Chains A and B, each alone.
Chain A
Amino acid sequence: MIIKDMMPAFELYQPTQVADALVLLNRFGKDGWKLAGGNDSLSWFKERAKRPKAVIDITGITELKGIKETPDGIEIGALTTLSEIERSPIVQSRYRVLADAARRVASPQIRNTGSIGGNVSQDARCLYYRYGLACYRAGGNTCFADTPEGVNREHALFDTDRCVAVSPSDTAPALVALDAKFVIRSSKGERVVSAEDFFVGPKIDIIHLTSVQPEELLTAIRIPKDWAGAHFYFEKVADRDAWDFALVNVAAAIVVTNGVIERSRIASGGVSAVPKRLNVVEEVIKGKPQGADIAKLAGQSAVRGARPLNYNQFKIPLMSNLVTRAVRDASA
């Protein structure tokens, strides 16, 4: 730390139209940086660990704000704040799991400035990576966390590949549970991807946690009607009950008919580089009566294949218990 905690200079652009933002992103490519609420970006800048040439502040683009109803469900603009989502009547009544997840992000101040697009796009919180060390995720060729003595209490149980950092987002698992689609635009056009294609692990891209390219912009998240009004469950366990990242979180959408689980989508954060969809759990509980017995099995199945590091073994019972609770306690 020769010098830290002091933001270096950058060029600042403040477009008010998506089209203008896309021109700028195209122009600067890897030297450009998309700034929304700033809760992740500014800490990177202050650490002097990421030093973009140009910062494109998209917060003036009004078309990216707000929640609107569509024939297929709802569309949430990427700049919609977490506070708006947590308070939105339509989200609360039909897609409660997302409101519950948004409400558990950080603190009221951060939720007032933090956007849904930023929350799902935020970078990993691994100590070493944030410190600016040349680890795999930073383009280097080592991992400091995946060692016998490394600080890895908050790291991954699953799907690690050189990097063991986790997805820190609370809303991401909820969006996976809701089968959300991510609308990504660039000057070449628009693509709409599922959560599975939006969030990426180190096997696919060790540098980024999402598939959004430098010249692309996440503009909206669409939530289909399929899971509206399902039984929902969200729970986050962190050391502190506010202003803290999840040790583990879980989000579930479960369609229960006459007490029997018809179908479900369940995801867990804080356990892998992506919000981990728990397909095995979904299989295990399908067609079974919702209750304590199947919930226990669900919890056991959730952690099969977990490969803990030295300090994060507690995440195995934690994740297992949270999945048990989700299946047991999900309610309309």
Chain B
Amino acid sequence: MATKLIGQNFVPHDVVAKVTGRAKYAEDFRADGMVFAKLLSSPMPHAKIRHIDTSEALKMPGVVGILSADDVPAFPPPQTPILAKDEVFYVGEPILAVAAVDEQSAADAIEKIKIDFEQLPHVLDPLDSLYPGGPNARLSGNVAAALINMQTVKWQASDFADDKVLPMGKPAETWSYGDIDAGFKDAKLIIDESFVTAGYSNHSMEPRTAMAYWQGGKCFLYGSNQSHTAAVPNIARYIGINPKDLVLIAEYCGGGFGSKIPGYPIMAVPALMSKKINRPVMMRITRLEEYAIGVARPTFQGRAKLGFAQDGRLLAADLYIVHENGPHIGAGDFRSAGNALSFMYQPKAMRFQAIPVLTNTPPRGPQRGPGENQLVPVIEPLIDKAARELGIDRVAIRKLNAPDGNSKIGGDQGPVTSAFIKEALDKGAAMFNWDERKARSGQKNGTKVTGVGIGQGYHSAGSNGFDGLLRLTPDGKLHVHTGIGNLGTYSHSATARVAAELLNVAWANVVIERGDSRLGLPWNSPQAGSLSASTESRTNYVAAMAMKAQLLDLAAQILGGSADDYEVGDEKVASKADASKSITYAQAAQKAIDLGGKYSGKEVPDDINPVTKDGVAMIAGTGLIAVAKDNLPRVGVTPGLTASFAEIELDTETGKFKILHMLTVADCGTVLHPQGLGHQIRGGNVMGIGMARLERHVYDPKLGIPAAALLYQAKPPTYLDVPAEIGFAAVELPDPQNPMGVKGVGEPPLGSGASAITTAIADAMGGHLFNRTPVSTDMILNELNGRPQAHKPLQVNSV
């Protein structure tokens, strides 16, 4: 369809506030009588808390209260506790909080608190924990995750016979389809490699600071969160209140990357401290604390065995992942990784095995493409190896194994809504001049050698079943109420434009209502999982359709005739027969208020979520209100896919490389906001560069203290580590199961970008496989100089 808004760039409403500093983040809020809280954190990687003596601290000047595990809701282990009780599991784990008139006083008081710890054995490397007699990260066991009960697992010493090969003892989870033995038997080429992908902190620029107070029985929480309405029930659970009693104010979020999806435990500390001492409480989280509690990507130690036919088709895949899960319930990256391999390369038969192992390192959770994105940078170089050995072009082997809309995913081989990665590979190869550039592969220029890389990324990118809420007010404004949150992707605005487009409302007449529970927000998806662009296109579509019907209905009531006699035009509803017979949207809004009932939100459809019902109740009677649940069909996973290309120049004397050229093409369906697509691709590629060459957890193995906690140690990429320009495009083929054709794109560019770099490094080094991320300068230098690597083959977390 011809569109006025969809596919056009726009300036989001809040940009000026962000660049002028007027935007208020959690830390910017103040309230009368507000005090500050500071956390006391564990100095040990694993210990029992035998006794806590706070008496001296309470005598310190300015101290107004202490909050400990006994004051906060407890959740069954291994769920992440709000504050540690009895046992601490990593250096930096919060044990209690002290509130005082200023942070200085709170910190000084914390130093007066005496804790009697009994140190326990700790473990950083999952394989050490799986070895017979190895240490457990918790007294209660060493293996757990969502849907996997806490247990103790030790493998046989014989499983560990070869330290270069991943031991493969009994898994905690497995699935398979097809006949992998037959696949490997028929294979012309079998590649069997063990690999390591480093875990690392999300390191959101805005730490998870929050301020809270109580008024009229409600808790007002000013926090930093990716999502809005989807987070409210969970945050309320942490605080121990009814979701209706939580007013969440989260208008801006300085980054989350998966770590702030449904709220997080520490938000409860200022809330419950405030309740306890009856004063507003601000708890600013420092960089070091953010590192500890701000979620990290799980480490993988894995093994991939891939069997290829002569023509390059992947016949069989056998994937084993030892997933380092931190000390608590952690993340499900291993599952996503298995699904990703099955979908992206379409092996005719596949077996997946995994075990999530606990370690005494910070809690794990989602980080942009959790599972998919750390897997591909070690798998894509293996695909290249197969291409080289079988004499097939590297783009061609990917296209041969690529999925399409009829392809299946995962162990249960379920359907997908569409997949156009082949088209993305073609478009990317053309933009990159693949045929010309690949000829430069391995070319030497003095001390420099050229490497050409190609990578793919995948993440599911759409959901359904949430609610849309629109409101027309008598001033003629269309208010798009959104509960998505404001992670910085601007999907709240890009999807609002779907409603504006369908209702023919000028963008200047659209008001986005968001960021504050009191504005009346609908139940929307979390802003996570590359979901919101696709999912809230649907909710705004169904709400726009509902509003359209109401407008036609109102026109008939005012002007006579039936709804069918009317059509909506530019902010008015006019008779099809006589265009001069019309009412404006403003008039319709007033009429809706006059009529009440279903027109003004006094009555709502039964099937909408209770959260939406509460939201509508706040705004009922203020205009023409359309609210609807997205009951549109969607069968299968909605995949978002990207293909990235890179050319690097590696200096063989320094081990450093420059990225000369990089671009990414997305299969994300209809593009809502081209500039937003560019931001997502470039941001994802930049994070991918960090994953490929720089970022990793490092701990002292004896003390368990972190060596990559502060930003200068953790080394996210700087401007000078990434190319000045990263090209982007989309295949622009609509998804058939979204009314606007939209799929998401937030996550895949990280994985494809990282893979384009790891494959380029391998290409520059004659096909050498590091089988490890990040590929750091020292590893490249050691390899180029014929020196052994300093780390053991499968070593993690201490190198």
Q: A residues bordering B, Cβ < 8 Å?
A: 1-9, 43, 48, 107, 127-128, 131, 133, 144, 147, 149-151, 153, 235, 237, 239-245, 247, 310-314, 317-318, 321-322, 324-325
Contacts and interface: CB of A to CB of B under 8 A. Distances in A.
Contact of B718 (A8, A48, A107, A318): A107
B113 A242 contact: no
Given A310-B790, A313-B787, A240 B781 contact: no
A239 B777 CA distance: 6
A50 B693 CA distance: 33
Contact of A240 (B104, B110, B720, B779): B720
Interface string B675-697: 00000000000000000011000
Contact of A237 (B656, B720, B784): B656
B452 interface: no
A131 B782 contact: no
Q: Which of A237, A240, A312, A321 has its CB near the most chain B CB atoms (within 10 A)?
A: A240
Contact of B108 (A8, A131, A151, A242): A8
B798 interface: yes
- Most chain A C-beta atoms within 10 Å of own C-beta, residue among B110, B653, B693, B720: B653
Given A1-B41, A149-B701, A240-B720, A8 B104 contact: yes
B504 to A, nearest CB: 48
B91 interface: yes
B698 A6 contact: no
A3 B289 CA distance: 10
Given A6-B286, A310-B790, A240 B715 contact: yes
A245 B715 CA distance: 11
Contact of B787 (A153, A235, A242, A314): A314
B790 A153 contact: yes
B686 to A, nearest CB: 12
B107 A6 contact: yes
Given A2-B115, A3-B111, A5-B286, 5 more contacts: A1-B43, A127-B707, A127-B713, A242-B719, A318-B781
B710 to A, nearest CB: 8
Given A3-B107, A5-B287, A318-B781, A151 B40 contact: no
B703 interface: yes
Given A1-B43, A237-B655, A321-B654, A311 B799 contact: yes
Nearest to A245: B712
Secondary structure dominating the interface of A: loop
Nearest to B791: A311
B289 A9 contact: no
Given A6-B286, A243-B712, A128 B721 contact: no
Interface residues on B, range: 35 or more
Nearest to B699: A151
B776 A239 contact: yes
A113 B428 CA distance: 43
A131 B710 CA distance: 11
Contacts of B53: none
B107 to A, nearest CB: 4
Contact of B42 (A1, A244, A325): A1
A245 B777 CA distance: 13
A314 B655 contact: yes
A265 B785 CA distance: 27
B163 interface: no
B790 A151 contact: no
Contacts of B710: 43
B311 interface: no
Contact of B778 (A9, A107, A247): A247
A243 to B, nearest CB: 6
Contacts of A1: 41-43, 91-92, 288
Given A128-B700, A324-B653, A2 B110 contact: yes
B38 interface: yes
A318 B655 contact: yes
A149 to B, nearest CB: 5
A325 B699 CA distance: 34
11 contacts: A3-B110, A127-B700, A127-B705, A310-B790, A311-B790, A311-B791, A311-B799, A317-B781, A317-B787, A318-B655, A324-B653
B656 A151 contact: no
Contact of A325 (B92, B107, B653, B785): B653
A164 to B, nearest CB: 14
Contacts of A310: 790
Contacts of B41: 1-4
Contacts of A2: 40-41, 43, 110-111, 113, 115
Interface string B13-45: 000000000000000000000000011111100
Contacts of A144: 700, 702-703
Interface string B765-799: 00000000000111101101101001100000011
A301 to B, nearest CB: 17
The interface centre, meaning the residue of A5, A107, A147 with most chain B CB atoms within 10 A of its CB, is A5
Nearest to A110: B712
Contacts of B720: 240-242
Interface string B288-314: 110000000000000000000000000
Contacts of B108: 8-9
Interface string B87-128: 000011000000000011001101101010000000000000
Interface string B68-101: 0000000000000000000000011000000000
B62 to A, nearest CB: 12
A28 to B, nearest CB: 21
B254 interface: no
Nearest to A311: B790
Given A3-B38, A247-B778, A324-B653, A8 B107 contact: yes
A159 to B, nearest CB: 21
B721 A314 contact: no
B654 A322 contact: yes
Contact of B715 (A3, A128, A151, A244): A244
Contact of B790 (A244, A314, A317): A314
A138 to B, nearest CB: 14
Nearest to B785: A317
Contact of B707 (A4, A151, A243): A151
Question: What 9 pairs between A and B have smallest CB-CB spacing?
Answer: A241-B720, A5-B286, A314-B778, A321-B653, A5-B288, A242-B718, A6-B107, A317-B785, A3-B110
Interface in B700-743: 700-703, 705, 707, 710, 712-713, 715, 717-721
A318 B654 contact: yes
A141 B713 CA distance: 26
A317 B784 CA distance: 9
Contacts of A317: 781-782, 784-785, 787
A127 B704 CA distance: 12
Contacts of B785: 314, 317
Nearest to A308: B790
A107 B718 CA distance: 9
Which of B286, B654, B799 has its CB near the most chain A CB atoms (within 10 A)? B654
Nearest to B788: A313
Contacts of B717: 240
Contacts of B287: 5
A312 B799 CA distance: 11
B104 A6 contact: yes
B202 to A, nearest CB: 17
Contact of A4 (B288, B656, B776): B288
Contacts of A245: 712
Nearest to A325: B653
Contacts of A151: 698-700, 707, 798
A313 B110 contact: no
Q: Which of A48, A133, A149: most chain B Cβ within 10 A?
A: A149
Given A2-B41, A239-B694, A325-B653, A313 B790 contact: yes
A204 B693 CA distance: 38
A163 B446 CA distance: 39
Contact of A149 (B286, B705, B798): B798
Contacts of A107: 718
